[in-house]
Chain A
């Protein structure tokens, strides 16, 4: 394969490439996202529906003055379990779809057009396990950076130690800055694993090397793109909220009317909770699908830009090889 000729991009070029990439790949990426996240979204909708129904039944039948019985506590735990199952499935689906969309985007940037079937067959490979490993490692690291000072703060408050409390507070603030710094530095681990077949630790090093010297630029562009994508998703989601939460809104306005007229009808709140479950699942699914068509692609474009800035595409030996 001939070496790629990708030059470092300006901000305008990055957006131009991104929108063109979205335009060229959205049908394939939508197919991937629907195949992977559609069932997960439906399961989440159904599990949330079951969970909220159980919660509503509990509210309908219990006297609020009485303490919770063992059966009621198990019902509440059942609700939490259903919801957790749905959420976990959505998260797993999101990671798989992110890898597949990243592979489609990277291939397109390299001048190769991959079908969604090929992208999925490359995704269900050891690399998706590596991406899970990378997410778990990064998540654990970031949680630890924030959680340890937080524990210090709590201990400081518990033992009435001003110094420990201050130290905890200061370390939380410092921890947030460190997480932001590392988050940007490790923003390209997924393309590194998905496209270069890097190992988990290698992917951290690779992303760190790519971002080094361009941190502020990467930070600014990622923030800008994140704001735009979330804004676009929020305006596109507006009609979906009306459609899928229609019953919830109807019950909500009934509740407001009841309050205005001084009536106290708890069944309205039960209806509200019952009508929330499936809508939330479906809306999460649609929102995730929409974001998945775009979000991995801006990482891909920036990943290629950063590689071009390191001069990787000017040498034949560094040309892109399809794993």
Chain B
């Protein structure tokens, strides 16, 4: 490998496509789609199975739930701990591990370079974080509007957000690891590092849109589909322009961290940040700022974007 790099006319981080799929000359889009569906089936079925098992064991040991919303909520709190462990374990075992395995086996022995686990300046990362923060109120406003239009009861939303809610600093730390750090690492390496990276080789910028929508659909949350798809496209764009996975990882982490932060309740009654509707004026201020920062990101990454090779010749 080192010899290949030293003899290569391409930059040091150039990806050598020496995997079995590449050698066989099959379509790379098939590889991306197959990886997406294969890992999707494995992850969701595995996670569902383990989640049902975890809930079943908890229910057996802790008894019946009751009938009112309050009973349901307090019952759901019993399941939250095991469910978080299931999410944490399955993201690493059933999403990240197969992703890295597929990249190494099918595409390149240089996994780190293939998934772009390198490069990206501090400014790129900082800008990606700021852009995500600026777009967040608009995204939440749209999601809240769906909830309002459908008239989903507040108590039901409380049950829904219980898995992201923490009540002590230790629980908050664990939640940051499970809900922020883990998806930023596993989901980014899967969606951006593998799926988008592979589609990008034939579809160029269109891969950002496609994988963004797929990212939204993969969350199986119809009410959040629009917001999650836009977030997916934004993360994909950071990855595509910077030729590095770090800005999208940082942005994903920030997005989830804010959600976890908003739902942090130091005492059982008071939230650290007051929950409630996102005011339209806030969206009116932050959205133009986000768009402006996006232009800045676009111009800042232009040099690197033009210099780095997009399509590597196949072996």
Contact = CB atoms under 8 A, between A and B. Distances in A.
Interface of A: 12-13, 15-16, 19-20, 23, 227-228, 231-232, 235-236, 238-239, 241-242, 246, 249-250, 253-254, 256-257, 260
Contacts of A239: 217, 222, 225
B151 A253 contact: yes
Given A19-B29, A20-B27, A260 B222 contact: no
Contact of A231 (B44, B150, B156): B44
A20 B33 CA distance: 11
B155 A238 contact: no
B10 interface: no
Contacts of A242: 222-223, 225
B63 interface: no
A250 B27 contact: no
Interface in B39-71: 40-41, 44-45, 68-69
Given A232-B37, A253-B150, 15 more contacts: A15-B30, A19-B27, A19-B34, A231-B40, A231-B41, A235-B214, A236-B217, A238-B220, A238-B221, A239-B222, A250-B149, A250-B150, A256-B156, A257-B151, A257-B153
Contacts of B29: 19, 23
Given A15-B34, A16-B27, A250 B222 contact: no
B24 A12 contact: yes
Interface in B12-42: 20-21, 24, 26-27, 29-30, 33-34, 37-38, 40-41
Contacts of B218: 235
Interface residues on B, range: 20 to 34
Given A235-B220, A260-B69, A250 B151 contact: yes
Given A16-B27, A16-B30, A228-B38, A256 B225 contact: no
Contacts of B24: 12-13
Nearest to A234: B220
Contacts of A249: 150
B152 interface: yes
Contacts of A254: 151
6 contacts: A228-B38, A238-B220, A239-B225, A246-B150, A253-B151, A260-B153
B153 A12 contact: no
A232 B218 CA distance: 10
A260 B155 contact: yes
Contacts of B30: 15-16, 19-20
Interface string B64-86: 00001100000000000000000
Nearest to B29: A19
A245 to B, nearest CB: 9
Contacts of A235: 40, 214, 217-218, 220
A257 B26 CA distance: 54
